[in-house]
Amino acid sequence: MIILWVLLPQLLLTLAAWGVTRGVVGFGGQFGQLEGVVVRPEKVLLLIGNMVALPQIILCFAILDIFSYNSYRIHLLPLWVFILIIMGGGGIILGVFFIRTLLRVWSVSKE
């Protein structure tokens, strides 16, 4: 029960970040669509808003690992390995987004 009470705020903060981001994108969409825009602001806002979840995921894992070690004397995974996995995945997602955006802008500027 203690684990639930400690991990629940992390989940709520992550969901709040997602909700705020979706709300801003939805609110911005009410003012009309931008015609001829190469980079869509909605995608950029969603990407930026969801980057708040990365530290929350790491903190959630750290708390879960602490309780696992206190209860069963085992570590789930070394924390630094988990951080490298999460940050590596986030870096790959950012890299793919950046390259796709760069190629889109480059192709439009050639025309």
Domain boundaries, the chain: 2-30+37-110
Give the Å distances, CA to CA, from 35 to 9, 17, 32.
Answer: 40, 28, 9
Instruction: For 25-65, write each residue's pLDDT tens digit.
Output: 777 666 666 566 677 777 777 777 777 778 888 888 998 89
Q: Is the pTM value of this prediction over 0.75?
A: no
Residue 28: the pLDDT is: 67
Asked if residue 40 lies in contact with residue 97, where contact means CB atoms within 8 angstroms, the answer is no
Asked if residue 26 lies in contact with residue 40, where contact means CB atoms within 8 angstroms, the answer is no
Average pLDDT, the chain: 82
Q: For residue 34, what is the DSSP state?
A: P
Q: What does the alpha-carbon distance between residue 68 and residue 70 come to, in Å, rounded to a whole number? A: 5
